[in-house]
Chain A
Amino acid sequence: MCCIPSKEDMQRALEARHGKDLQQKFTNSTVAICGLGGLGSNIAVSLARAGIGKLILVDFDKVDISNLHRQQYKADQIGRFKTEALAENLREIAPYIQVETHAVRMTEENFEALLSEADLICEAFDGAETKAMLVNGVLEKLHTKYLIAASGMAGLGSANSIQTRRITNRFYLCGDGISDVADDIGLVAPRVMLCAAHQAHMVLRILSGNFEP
C-alpha cells in the first residue's frame, strides 16, 4: 500500500460524488452486518465503497473453498476468520474505514451488546432460524435501530423477483421470500449479490432520508 490516496483526498472524492451533506451522513454512520457470507460480504463491499464510516462485522465462521463462488474472499484466505479476511479486503478498497470485528456466533444472549453501537443492522445470516432469531430480537429490544433483513435469494430464479419490502417503520425485508437454499442448486453469485445490493441500497436510502423501498 505504498501509493494510496490520503484520507482527505478519499473523502473529497466521495463528497464530489455524493455531495458534502449526504457524504457526511454516510461517514458518520455505523452499520452492523450480521453474517459474512454471500449477503454480508457483498453488503460490506458496497457500503465500504459508498464511504460508510464504520462497519461492525459479525461471523463465527472461517473462509472455506465452497464460499469462493459467491462471497468476497480470495483463494489465499481459505481457513482464516471471515471477519479478519473481509476487514483486510475492505481496507484495500477503503483504507480509512473503521471496522470492528466479532468472530463469535450471534445468540439471543449477546446480540444486544454486539449491536448497541449500530445505527442500522443488516441481517445476512444463512439459516432461517438464525434470521428469525435476530429479526425478532432486534424488533423487540432495539427499538431505535433500522433493520434490513433478507429471505429468499437462492437458485436461478428471475433476477427481477428480488425485491425490497417495508414491513414496519424500521424493518425492511429483501429477497423473493420463497427461494430456499435447501431446494435447488443453492446460491449463485449474481442473485445473492442482487439481494445484498438491495440491502446495501436500502441502507443508503434510509441514511439519505428516503424511507420507502
Chain B
Amino acid sequence: MVKINGESFDIAGKTLAEYLASTEYNPMRIAVERNGEIVPKAKYGETVLQEDDVIEVVNFVGGG
C-alpha cells in the first residue's frame, strides 16, 4: 500500500503522474513530498510509487 496524505491506496507500481492525473489536484498548485524528500516536478512521470511509500501532496490555496 502507498500512503498518501494519510490514506492508503493500492497503487504501488503506478507513477506519481498517473496518480495525480486520477485526482482533482491542479498540477500548478502542488508540491509533492515522498518519504521526506521533495519530488522535482520534472520527475513526476518517472517516479514509480513503491510499496510502503509515504507521500504528501501539499495543495496550495490562494491568499496572503
User: Number of A residues whose C-beta is below 8 Å from B?
Assistant: 37
A63 to B36 alpha-carbon distance, docked (Å): 39
B24 beta carbon closer than 8 Å to chain A:
no
CA distance A120 to B56 in the complex (A): 22
Q: Which of B23-46 contact A (CB under 8 A)?
A: 26, 28-31, 33, 36-38, 40-41
Q: Does A90 contact B (CB under 8 A)?
A: no
Partner of A39, one of B30, B41, B56, B64: B64
Interface centre among B31, B59, B60 (most CB of A within 10 A): B60
Kindly state the interface size class of chain B when it binds its partner: 10 to 19
CA distance in complex: A154, B61 (Å) = 9
Cβ of A53 under 8 Å from chain B: no
Interface set of B (CB-CB < 8 Å, partner A): 26, 28-31, 33, 36-38, 40-41, 56, 58-64
Q: What 20 new A-B contacts, CB under 8 Å, besides A132-B60, A135-B58, A168-B33?
A: A35-B64, A38-B63, A124-B64, A125-B64, A127-B62, A128-B61, A131-B64, A136-B41, A152-B61, A152-B63, A154-B61, A168-B37, A171-B33, A171-B38, A173-B58, A178-B61, A179-B63, A180-B61, A181-B64, A182-B62
